[in-house]
Amino acid sequence: MGLKIAIVGCGKIADAHVEEIAKISTARLVAVCDLEPIMAEQLAMRYQVPHWYSDVQAMLDAEKPDVVHITTPPQSHLALTRQAVAAGCHVFIEKPVALRHCDVEAIIQTAVDSGKKLSVNYWPNFEAPALELRRLYQAGVLGRPVHVESFYGYNLAGEYGTAFRRDPDHWVHRLPGKLFQNVLDHALNKITPFLLDEHPVIQAVAYSADSADSSGKLLDELRVTICGAEASAFVTFSSHARPIEHSLRVYGTRNTARVDFTARTLVLDRQQGFPSALGRLFPPFLTAKDYLRQGFRNVSLFSHARFHFFDGMRTLLNEFYRSIESDSPPPIDYGEILRVSSMMERIFEQVYPEVFA
Amino acid sequence: MKVLVTGAGGFLGVHVVERLLAHGYTDIRCLLRERSKGDRLLEIAATYPGARVELCFGNLRSKADCARATAEVSLIFHLAAGLKGSAAELFADSVVASRNLLESLPGRDGFPAAQTRIVLVSSFGVYGVANLGRGAHVDEQTPLEPHPELRDPYSQSKLRQEQLFWDFQRAMGFELVVLRPGVIYGPGGGAFSNRVGLQIGPVFFHLGGSNLLPLAYVANCAEAIVVAGGHHDSAGQAYNVHDDDLPTAAQYLRAYKRRVKRLRTLRLPYFMTRSLAGLLEGYHRRSQGQLPAIITRYKAATSWGGNAFSNAKLRSIGWRQLVPTGDAMEQTFAALREQDQPR
């Protein structure tokens, strides 16, 4: 029969959850729920979900799901986590986890106290090149990380960007960290595996570069410097740089790795052993060889139908569901989730001091 | 009598306000989301000095904005709808917004819901034509889509919106008039409906062939909405809206290439479109959605199956085409040509 899954929150991102759950043979989606019945109904209609609800408790009582996916705006995540856990459910939460760091702590504590498992949709970290990076790091190929650069490009003219720019009441505008808070998890969660400090030094600067926004109120460019005891990081969030890039560069004491999350490639910049001019001659060919290998790997993934946009989410969900069935640790360490949330809060304190005063 | 036009700042909305003024309506409240779109309405209003055109800025997703918009109104032209974006947004902008609007009707002092008339702009997309067969005649008696789950999100949201209005009409007793336009076109609108074909990469796949194109020039469509909205016998009725002398998809495309710009096109006969749709659908299913099923056999039958249309019912209540199709296409192509010029 497998795990019974339910989704709370039937906005745009819920589509991705429904589609990825459907690809997992050990799970089945039994119901969806939204405070707005029309939204719950439309999701159930489009994906032929057996039941839909507009009352979470009614759904929990009737369907008794094993796992609840929470895909509502983050304002409601703490209360919904408590409600789901009280009903005996494990919880999978869409990012951002909560409005404030203290709420993220409370969410995790709720899961720990009840013996239920929790994970967060940090799906890019479960894409093939990200998993390969993790393997290289653990195998010592990179050496000790010295510096990490995470670049996160955003498309204000895309579906998500257009939606919140068009609607002044959109929930993103009510986030204390505004636009940044909705997406910064994905920039920060890529560096936390390499920067383990609980309280690194953080400096953040944000500004508006949107010529269409005459009010200048929408801050859409962010630069962050993070200094830990053993490693540092730069985080760039850009709404205007083209092409839209999602990338990570990890500078290690042995080699440097470059991950392109858009093209799904990982290449290594290796230390050169060749003397003199030869050392300048070979690197492009070695890099080309890496790209060729990655290109063929992607073709192979495509031919095996493992090259979907949200393939990382499927891998993450598979690992999360497996951790529930085998009672093993969930795929994302709670400490990592807390470090991301803590960094976000400290960045927003500097960018929006009036909100966080 | 105060009239409300929702979506008044949109492509069709501006023309509806103009036709309302031309038909002698003198008290019009225009609901629009973007302030920048108010100027054009005020320009039109200035040509009718005896009329009062009030701009009301708001979003129908907000119940408070709905209450503000419908206060003291007894005739509503509901044009606002989601046209693009994710399925969730389309439903929020078309269906949730409509529900909010309808729920704001009861409880208005001196303006009972039952004495209100609502004119809903629905869509041809609500009809279930996939299984009718090629050449089938589509009129107001054609059944609504029985399989919304097989359609695109826009059609799904418009179908649910219309069903919502009929449900509320039965519960509240207001007068409901439904207009179902075909392809609304004109200056400021897009160049091609899917019924003509799809642009995929550098090639325009011409899929409509010799099918009739149910075009409704934006001014003619606006005239139809105002005529039906004001007709004493139209309550409880639905009307298909399209112009009289319809071109085929091939004629439209030829004229576009002649008048606007050259286009690299590839014409696919219907049987080939359906075969490709079947292949794509099969791959989509086997690969669990690795490539989107932008064309399925059901969608192909709906869009390119080829139907005959009739606007006889609309004509029976006095609608006449204001702008002949030849002139309408020329004006549209002139605007598209200008839009295509390098700035």
Interface test with A, best of B86, B158, B164, B296 (most A CBs within 10 A): B86
Task: Give the number of beta-carbon pairs within 8 Å between A and B.
Answer: 64
**Domain limits of chain A?**
3-120, 125-310+341-356
The per-residue pLDDT for A211 is: 64
Domains of chain B from N-terminus onward: 3-189+214-246+308-325 (3.40.50.720)
Q: Do B149 and A48 touch (CB under 8 A)?
A: yes
Q: Is the pLDDT of residue A166 over 80?
A: no
* CA nearest neighbour of B338 among B187, B183, B185: B187
Output the six-digit token pair for B250: 């091939």
The per-residue pLDDT for A299 is: 97
Separation in Å, CA of B312 to nearest CA in chain A: 34
Q: Is the pLDDT of residue B322 over 60?
A: yes
The per-residue pLDDT for A272 is: 81
Whole-complex ipTM: 0.93
A162 touches chain B (CB under 8 A): yes
Q: Do B61 and A42 touch (CB under 8 A)?
A: no
* CA nearest neighbour of A11 among B36, B85, B208: B85
Task: Report residue A213's pLDDT band, with 50, 70 and 90 as the boundaries.
Answer: low
Q: What are the pLDDT digits (tens) for B246-300?
A: 999 999 999 999 999 999 999 999 999 999 999 999 999 999 999 999 899 999 9
Coil vs helix vs strand at A203: strand
A174 touches chain B (CB under 8 A): no
Q: Which residues of B touch A19 (CB under 8 A)?
A: 288-289
Q: Is the pLDDT of residue A217 over 80?
A: no
* β-strands A256-260, A246-252 pairing: antiparallel
Show contacts of B141-148: CB within 8 Å, 24+ apart.
Answer: B147/B298, B148/A45
Q: What are the pLDDT digits (tens) for A44-98?
A: 999 999 999 999 999 999 999 999 999 999 999 999 999 999 999 999 999 999 9
Q: Do A42 and B288 touch (CB under 8 A)?
A: no
Q: What chain A residue is nearest to B152 in terms of C-alpha separation?
A: A46
Q: Which residues of B touch A54 (CB under 8 A)?
A: none
* CA nearest neighbour of B59 among B114, B113, B7: B7
Q: What are the pLDDT digits (tens) for A318-352?
A: 999 999 999 999 999 999 999 999 999 999 999 99
The residue whose two tokens read 């709370």 is: A8
CB-closest option in B61, B86, B290 to A12: B86
The residue whose two tokens read 């325009």 is: B204
Q: What chain B residue is nearest to A47 in terms of C-alpha separation?
A: B149
* CA nearest neighbour of A64 among A79, A53, A78, A74: A53
CB-closest option in B95, B149, B286 to A38: B95
Coil vs helix vs strand at B320: coil
A262 touches chain B (CB under 8 A): no
Q: How far apart are CA A218 and CA A159, in angstroms?
A: 17
Sign of CA dihedral B190, B194, B197, B200: positive
- CATH of range A3-120; options 3.40.50.720, 3.30.750.24, 3.40.50.1370, 3.40.1390.10: 3.40.50.720
- The percentage of chain A sitting over the pLDDT mark of 70, rounded to a whole number, equals 98
Q: What are the pLDDT digits (tens) for B129-177?
A: 999 988 899 999 999 999 999 999 999 999 999 999 999 999 999 999 9
Predicted TM-score (pTM) of this structure = 0.94
Q: Are A230 and A245 in contact (CB under 8 A)?
A: no
The per-residue pLDDT for B343 is: 61
First CA to last CA across chain B, in angstroms?
45
Q: What are the pLDDT digits (tens) for B100-119?
A: 999 999 989 899 999 999 99
CB-closest option in B61, B62, B160 to A42: B160
A36 touches chain B (CB under 8 A): yes
Q: What's the burial of A145, exposed, middle or buried (CB within 10 Å: 0-12/13-18/19+)? A: buried
Output the six-digit token pair for A284: 């492009």
Interface test with A, best of B32, B33, B83, B91 (most A CBs within 10 A): B91
Q: Do B96 and A23 touch (CB under 8 A)?
A: no
A40 touches chain B (CB under 8 A): no
The per-residue pLDDT for B206 is: 97
* CA nearest neighbour of A189 among A103, A129, A125, A132: A125
Q: Do B96 and A38 touch (CB under 8 A)?
A: yes
A212 touches chain B (CB under 8 A): no
Return the top range by mean pLDDT from A163-177, A279-293, A327-341. Answer: A327-341
Q: How far apart are CA A91 and CA A84, in angstroms?
A: 7
* CA nearest neighbour of A148 among A63, A55, A258: A258
Output the six-digit token pair for A95: 């990012």
The per-residue pLDDT for B286 is: 96
Q: Is the pLDDT of residue A215 over 70?
A: no
Q: How many CB atoms lie within 10 A of CB A39?
A: 23
Task: Report residue A216's pLDDT band, with 50, 70 and 90 as the boundaries.
Answer: low
Radius of gyration of chain A (CA): 21
Cis peptide bond N-terminal to A96, omega within 30: yes
CATH architecture of A125-310+341-356: 2-Layer Sandwich (3.30)
Q: What chain A residue is nearest to B160 in terms of C-alpha separation?
A: A42
Q: Is the pLDDT of residue A214 over 70?
A: no
Q: Which residues of B touch A159 (CB under 8 A)?
A: 85-86, 89
Q: Are A107 and A77 in contact (CB under 8 A)?
A: yes
